[in-house]
Amino acid sequence: METYRLTEDEIKFLGRKYPYLKYNKDINIIKGVIDFDLEFPSENSVRIKDKYSIEIDFSKVNDHTLPSIRETDGKISNIAERKKIPREDLHLNNKNGELCIIIPPKIKERYPNGFDLEEFLNHLEEHLYWVSYYDRYNKKPWPDYGHSELGYLQLYLENKILYSAAFKNEFGISSRPELRRKIKYLKRKYNL
């Protein structure tokens, strides 16, 4: 994605819906506190109110059109430390608090018309809800995807027709025997 800059309408939306998030035009970053009060329909439906300090940097866009997001207070890292689990299990890419909110092949499904600030912030709230839920109840409110090769394997196993091309592309696979060998290897590696 080319460097994205918020429009005046998006800045007004941000001020109305997320008063604790501020957009700095000069450095093209949204920074502040995102708070939410959410409940998702499921058998374990629970309303959660929580907040996280974040930074959304539009000058750092990944290969898949989304800006870089960091949780800046170390809250998620602290949860991982307290629970003695890897940061990756709470979808942190690194100790700097960079979040992984979606596996690349799912981006077009979530953002069919490209980046949309409102959808992006809704998505971020859902992601943070997932983390808060896990923190409070020691279980996932809904299944997530693993990182890197595990995530691609899970996608492939979920829908071989829909995600076969993404899987092959990720691992540079060009033949059916090669695909079978890779699937077998990964299933064994991750006990799937």
Q: What is the pLDDT of residues 104-119, one digit of tens each?
A: 999 989 999 989 999 9
Task: State phi, psi for 156 to the nearest 5 degrees.
Answer: -60, -45
Residue 124 scores a pLDDT above 80: yes
Chain mean pLDDT for the chain = 92
Across 128-153, average pLDDT: 93
Distance separating alpha carbons of residues 21 and 35, to the nearest angstrom? 9
Distance separating alpha carbons of residues 21 and 172, to the nearest angstrom? 41
Across 160-186, average pLDDT: 94
Structure tokens at 71: 């949780």
* 3-class DSSP state of 58: strand
* 3-class DSSP state of 144: coil
Name beta bridge partners: 22: 31
pLDDT band at residue 98 under the 50/70/90 scheme:
very high
pTM: 0.90
The pLDDT, as a whole number, for residue 132 is: 96
Please tell me the number of Cα atoms within 13 Å of 123 on its side-chain side.
19
pLDDT band at residue 65 under the 50/70/90 scheme:
confident
Task: Please return the burial class of 99, using the count of CB atoms within 10 Å of its CB with bins 0-12, 13-18 and 19+.
Answer: buried
The pLDDT, as a whole number, for residue 105 is: 92
Residue 41 scores a pLDDT above 90: no
Strands 21-24 and 67-71: unpaired
pLDDT band at residue 87 under the 50/70/90 scheme:
very high
Task: Tell me the residue length of the chain.
Answer: 192
109 touches 88 (CB < 8 A): no
DSSP letter, residue 64: T
CA quadruple 100, 103, 104, 108: dihedral sign? negative
pLDDT exceeding 90 applies to what percent of the chain?
A: 84
Distance separating alpha carbons of residues 144 and 24, to the nearest angstrom? 32
